[in-house]
Amino acid sequence: MFMTQISKILKDSDVVTTLLLFAIASIIYSGTGTDAKDWVFPLMACFSLFAISAFFLVKSISKIITGKIVPDLEIDVEQIPSIINVIFFSFFIFIFLLLLFASGFWIASLALLWVSIAYFNPDNNIKTIVKSFVVSLISCLIAYVVFTHIFYVPFPESRLFG
* Tens of pLDDT, residues 13-36: 999 999 999 999 998 888 777 776
Tell me, yes or no, whether 108 and 136 share the same domain: yes
Domain that holds residue 1: 1-74
Over the stretch 40-80, which tens digit does the pLDDT of each residue have?
A: 777 888 899 999 999 999 999 999 999 899 989 888 999 99
Are 32 and 42 spatial neighbours (Cβ–Cβ below 8 Å)?
yes
Long-range contacts formed by 86-92: CB under 8 A, 24+ apart: 88/119, 89/116, 89/119, 92/116, 92/119
Beta-carbon-side half-sphere exposure of residue 3 (alpha carbons within 13 Å): 0
- 91/161 same-domain check: yes
Sequence-distant (6+) residues with CB within 8 A of 52 are 21
Distance separating the N- and C-terminal Cα atoms of the chain: 58
Q: 117 and 135 in contact (C-beta within 8 Å)?
A: yes
Q: What is the pTM of this model?
A: 0.68
Q: Is the pLDDT of residue 157 over 80?
A: yes
The span from the CA of 155 to the CA of 144, in Å, is 10
- Picking from 74, 94, 113, the residue at the C-terminal end of a domain is 74
One domain for residues 48 and 80: no
